[in-house]
A = this chain, B = another copy of it.
Amino acid sequence: MLYVGIDLGGTNIAAGLVDDEGSILFKGSVPTAAERGYEPVVKDMADLAAKMAAKAPAGRGGVRSIGIGSPGTIDSATGSVVYSNNLGFVNVPMVGEMRRYTDLPILIGNDANVAALAESTAGAAKGIEHSVTVTLGTGVGGGVVIGGKVYSGFNDAAAELGHMCIMMDGEMCTCGKRGCWEAYASATALIRQTKAAAAADPGSAINSLVSGDLGAVNAKTAFDAAKAGDAAGRAVVDAYIRYVAVGLRNIINIFMPEVIVIGGGISKEGDYILTPLSRIAHAEAYTDRIKLPAFKIAQMGNDAGIVGAAMLGK
């Protein structure tokens, strides 16, 4: 069978024709321009999905379903986007609107959850029954796969792993609550931590890497400084890795997945971050008398949204 997966992002709508193994046969994209309101956005999604479906090669069993991965809080029972800050959508009847354009089954899931499903189907957790995928990007996203299926709770809003509290009464998070993991372990938080360290130590390599312009600090700057032997950069990276590790310790104690997949921009650091994360999280886990989860870097990259959305229909 084949499946159409739609990755609805803040910038682009990407869609692809995907097979049972999670391989993309064709893909395409158009700008989202969510400020137009949801009706034209959904029409563009439907047009793109139809284009993908039309490319289905004869003899492959046809297209079974259309899956949508969307940012925000999703209600899959009603097929609506309850709230997406990113798209500016509130109670958008996504599946109902899409139904105007197609008779295929339509499924919808949260973007972080479908990314986890993509890693589980064809990526770093392929063939693994229980995996958790954590995305260290602008925010911290999480997706939990149990028995090969996304776990999303009774109301589809589970696995908001970035919003577990790791520091009661701590840093304010963009969600309006204090102490969330995301407020310490996102790329945004790392940039804030890097700028603070640079301001406190004007002689550090962080400052020279950005020619003194702290506005140019990105999520790579502290890693680059640390790798160049800079003490301030090293201290920022060490502290950041501890922040990430404390959430991973919680994921181990709570879920005990067989594999934990690390994705998002920060995961480009590869083993440089994976090795200490695994060491610290294992050492801090409740028990070390049993086999603990393996840590892996995400493999699906930008295709995670398309593949995971498609696999909602599998």
Interface residue ranges, A against B (CB under 8 Å):
73, 75, 82-83, 129-130, 146, 151-161, 163-168, 170, 175, 177, 179, 242-243, 246, 249-250, 253-258, 284, 286-287, 289-293
Contacts and interface: CB of A to CB of B under 8 A. Distances in A.
A288 to B, nearest CB: 10
A179 to B, nearest CB: 8
**Of listed A156, A158, A170, A250, residue having the most chain B CB within 10 A:** A250
B164 A253 contact: yes
A162 to B, nearest CB: 9
B82 A153 contact: no
B154 A73 contact: no
Given A154-B129, A154-B130, A164 B290 contact: no
Contacts of A164: 164, 250, 253-254
26 contacts: A73-B289, A75-B290, A82-B287, A82-B289, A82-B290, A129-B154, A130-B154, A146-B146, A153-B255, A154-B293, A155-B290, A156-B256, A157-B256, A158-B256, A160-B253, A160-B254, A163-B253, A165-B284, A166-B167, A167-B167, A167-B168, A168-B243, A175-B286, A177-B249, A179-B246, A254-B254
Nearest to A254: B164
Contacts of A257: 153-154
Contact of A287 (B83, B151, B293): B83
Contacts of A289: 73, 82-83
Contact of A155 (B151, B153, B242, B291): B291
Contacts of A151: 146
A250 B165 contact: yes
Contact of A154 (B83, B243, B258): B258
A245 B255 CA distance: 20
**Of listed A82, A158, A256, A257, residue having the most chain B CB within 10 A:** A256
Contacts of A284: 165, 177
Given A82-B290, A177-B284, A289-B83, A256 B154 contact: yes
Contact of A290 (B157, B166, B286): B157
Which 6 pairs between the two chains have the least Cβ-Cβ distance? A153-B256, A158-B256, A154-B258, A163-B286, A160-B253, A164-B250
Contacts of A152: 256
Given A155-B290, A254-B158, A290-B157, A246 B73 contact: no
Contacts of A73: 287, 289-290
B168 A153 contact: no
Contacts of A157: 256, 286-287, 290
A308 B150 CA distance: 26
Contacts of A175: 286
A160 to B, nearest CB: 4
A253 B291 CA distance: 27
A159 B257 CA distance: 11
Given A82-B287, A158-B253, A163-B253, 4 more contacts: A155-B256, A155-B290, A161-B254, A177-B286
